[in-house]
Chain A
Amino acid sequence: MPSFPRGTLLRGTFLAGLLAGLLGLTSASDLAAQRRPGGGGRRAQVTVLKVGTVHPVSGPAIENGVIVIRGSRIVAVGSADEIEVPEGANVIEHLEAHAYPGLVDPLSAAFADPEAVSAGRTDAGTPVADALDPFEERSRELAARGITTAYVSNRSDSPWRGLGALIRPGSDGFRDFPEKTEVAVQMRISAGGGRAHPLQRLQALENVGNEFEQLEAYEKAFEKAEEELKKYEEDFGKYLEWHRARKKDDGDAAKEEDKKDGEQASGEGEAKPEGETPEARPEGGRRGRGRRPPGEGGGGGTPPAGGGEGGRPEGGAQDPQRAGGGGRGGEGAATGGDAKAKGEEKAPERPKYPKTPDRDPSKDALIKVRDGDLALFIEAQQTDEVERALALLGEHGIGRAAIEIATGAHRAAPALRDAGIPVIVLDAAPAGENENVDRDGQDRSVAGVMAKAGVPVAFGSGSVARARHLPSIAAEAVAYGMDEDAAVRAITLTPAEILGVADRVGSLEAGKLADIVLTSAPILHSDARILSVLASGRPVGGSDSEDR
């Protein structure tokens, strides 16, 4: 390996340091932002909302309801008789109004230019959050339409669509959902909504599970690399010991050379005198590190392994002895005697630094899915596609999942119920279809069929324009057999559960974020007008710049 010219090296080190500093700064400010009290602070304003009917969604409707909000959170919900209005509270009365939790859109296109998001190749680890545009004008109206939480995913044709983004839409852009950055990996097992030949469909479904099967080999490669690294460290220790043992025989002549070595940091390679011992070089470790070319440690994502990293052959003309001396000096000293005895017989071969595999964000994301740290959302439209998706989930033991779209999947309802997998649908019944009954007389209205079968149903908008009408979309499901409470739940608590944020949004309960939609009539009815929307306790459209 050629050695780096000194200048480059220094500059590189400087830049790396600068970068690290910057990163440090940003993460520090992130932390500060997260630590901002979630409304529980002593000075937080208390607001009391008195409305005609509170629809908590998590429980039955409350007539003459009262919601007490402190800062960004709800602290109490109940009827006017039960709830005591705290002194000094700011009381807002809408005695004819209905209060609902902020709506949760689990299939949103908010702030996502469809072209920017779907173009190009994506894999399971591609984050859609990088493609969102906070300046998209129409999406800024969504909060005023009652949508206070949205999960945006890539809708490309690619089988792997990456990680969706969970956001809080606002009138001035969006914010990330607090303390919940990753929700699910998006996948598509679908030949589309139209009719396709069974063989064509089969072909499309054939390879979907492969990625999961490759995970084992991927993880094995890292395990193997780790083992190799351990072995390398051991071998290197032996190699060093042998040389140290020989050095002792050479006597004190090495002391002079050691000084020289300290000044000339690089380019010495094998020419280095062999007289030094770790004990004789107190600052050996520091020097070893300082000479490391920038980027080496992080290049392959290699787990640093003590002094071993300094001795990596690719790292320029590094001296194995010196590097090893920094990290493994104690060991070397303790076993020096034995090594010497052996070394005299035969010099051990200098070990090669093992090659480590590169980390693959796609596979890393899928490992999280397999281990239950992330959910898997699968778009599957027809019954056979849903069945394939369920088989995939079963085969790989994936517990957290949802099926998206499911237009023609009415026959898969029992299988979904048995597997405990929820669905996220765009419409109560297939769009543009006159017939809601298929050729065999089966009801095709997905939402109704699923709800009756006991499958949790959530409605997603799929587009910014449709998101404005989420309550109407849910209302239509009532005509197809869902009951009204279930339809309201399907745009609030059910999607919050699917997204794994039901502890903070989706219903009006003490402790949750104060996301509240006030309407002039029951929200599913055509007369309902949105009177006002609170997101994290702040009126949308007002100064909501300081969220949460």
Chain B
Amino acid sequence: MLPRTLTLAAVLAAHLAPPLAAQDRGGDQQSPQAQTTTIYSAARLILRAGDPVLTGDDARLAVRGGKVVAVGGEITPGMTQRARVSRFEGATIVPGFVAPHTDLGLGGDLAEPIDAFTPHLDAADAFNPFDDRLDELAKTGVTSAVLSPLSANTFGGRAALVRSGELAGQVVTRDCYLKMALVQESLDQQRYPTSRMGAADMIRSAFAEANSPLGVQTPEFAALRAVLDGSLGVAVHARTHAEITTTLDVLGPLGIDPVLLEAAEVDENLDRLTGTGVRVTLPGLRFDSPERLLELPAKLAEAKIPFAFMAPDGRWLRRSMALAVRHGLSRELALAAATSVPAEIAGADDHVGSLRVGRDADFAIFHGDPCDLTARLLAVRVAGRAVFDHADDETTDTGAAARGTEETR
């Protein structure tokens, strides 16, 4: 139940650090001044989507050793004197984005399709902390991502939450959720199940076996028992109305409230979901998405069903947020759909998705509101480490106000 944290990358990082040291302007936990406090000051600070926005002197965040150590009024003049101060005028600090389901381009390494029943597999085992993609994710504002088994199996395996950023790449937890799938690509004519009907039967029988006191004691069923005792969540890939309905029909009687992944047709099931613990991830919204999908976030909000956007990078997440706001969603819920809700879906909302004293300093700084596409991403910190700073460019007008000014006192 408790996440195990690996800091493998932190150890190896020291060897790789020199070429990147130049970029490392903000916080830094590897350098000799590792215990220096950095205070990030902006116009607005959002600790958690939906919380009151902190402004003025309250819009400050003190970071030391990769953790948030003080916020707003807690920052004493004494602290300020010893700290480095990074000022971002007119900017907004928000929690780093969390991607609720990615494959980080690992593809085939995340599926064992010969057998549809592999709930004991661990996506964390396929994780490559040196993957370039982690760096790319970080540069778009995504500070952690769920690495999930593919949808090739009915029971795919356990998903893991990993940190982004080239050197910060590490596994936060190996137990995000049990990945299951009812979509077409989970069915295979070469093995059971070959149909949605067969998949439903496999799910029912497997959980019945796990539920039986005399049931088989193998790692597969241990994973299912973790689900039944509530220590592991379930996320089911179910796009269509039919797939969603089957998921709810099969898991409902077992008392399992799944996360519905990429549930583009969930608008057909809204009544059934309201008031349950079911959460939803929506496919990332695009400029050419159908109107029905673009209107779905506002509908889910009205039905009080928590949802997250399932986009492979921060740019797409921002498009999703902005398009949802254009179609009637509040800015608070749009930000939640990229931060706190995916953190809850990953079962890691006590680690990521919001900023609190004592938590890792994962955040992004935008010039403007991240729900406006016009807002430029200025900086990203993963566990206090600078993974992205907007390059100083020659622009004078927008740049002057947008550029973070940095002083050491």
Contacts and interface: CB of A to CB of B under 8 A. Distances in A.
Bound pair (A, B): yes
Interface of A: 429, 434-435, 437, 443, 452, 463, 465-466, 468-469, 472-473, 475-476, 478-481, 483-484, 487, 524-529
Contacts, number: 77
A487 B375 CA distance: 13
Contacts of B89: none
The 6 A-B residue pairs with the shortest CB-CB distance, nearest first, are: A465-B288, A478-B374, A526-B325, A475-B373, A434-B136, A469-B287
Contact of A463 (B137, B288, B372, B375): B288
A473 B287 contact: yes
B394 A466 contact: no
Interface stretch (B116-124, B175-183, B192-200, B315-323): B315-323
B393 A481 contact: yes
B225 interface: no
A476 B289 CA distance: 17
Contacts of A437: 391
B323 A472 contact: yes
Given A434-B133, A434-B139, A475-B372, A483 B397 contact: yes
B287 A527 contact: no
30 contacts: A434-B315, A452-B393, A463-B288, A465-B287, A465-B290, A468-B287, A469-B287, A469-B326, A472-B287, A472-B319, A473-B287, A475-B372, A475-B374, A476-B373, A476-B374, A478-B373, A479-B373, A479-B374, A479-B377, A481-B376, A481-B393, A483-B395, A483-B397, A483-B398, A484-B374, A524-B373, A525-B374, A526-B326, A527-B325, A529-B326
A529 B328 CA distance: 9
A526 B322 contact: yes
A525 B288 contact: no
Contacts of B331: 526
B313 interface: yes
Contacts of A468: 287
B245 to A, nearest CB: 28
Contact of B289 (A434, A465, A525): A465
A475 B372 CA distance: 8
A443 B374 contact: no
Contact of B287 (A466, A480, A481, A526): A466
Given A466-B287, A472-B323, A479-B377, A526 B372 contact: yes
Given A434-B137, A434-B315, A483-B398, A478 B376 contact: yes
Given A472-B373, A476-B319, A479-B373, 13 more contacts: A434-B139, A443-B393, A452-B395, A465-B288, A468-B287, A469-B323, A475-B372, A475-B374, A478-B376, A479-B376, A483-B398, A524-B374, A529-B326
Contacts of A487: 374
Contacts of B319: 472, 476
B371 interface: yes
B153 interface: no
A91 B105 CA distance: 58
B41 interface: no
Interface string B366-404: 000001111111000000000000010111011000000
Report, as a range, how many residues of chain B touch the other chain: 20 to 34
A434 B287 contact: no
A529 B375 CA distance: 19
Contacts of B148: none
Scoring A481, A483, A529 by chain B CB atoms within 10 A of each residue's CB, the highest score goes to A481
Contacts of A465: 287-290
A529 B315 CA distance: 22
B95 to A, nearest CB: 19
A298 B322 CA distance: 59
Scoring B315, B374, B398 by chain A CB atoms within 10 A of each residue's CB, the highest score goes to B374
A479 B288 contact: no
A435 B391 contact: no
B140 interface: yes
A463 B136 CA distance: 28
A140 to B, nearest CB: 14
Nearest to A522: B374
Given A434-B315, A476-B319, A525 B395 contact: no
A443 B395 contact: no
Nearest to B137: A434
Contact of A528 (B289, B323, B326, B391): B326
B374 A435 contact: no
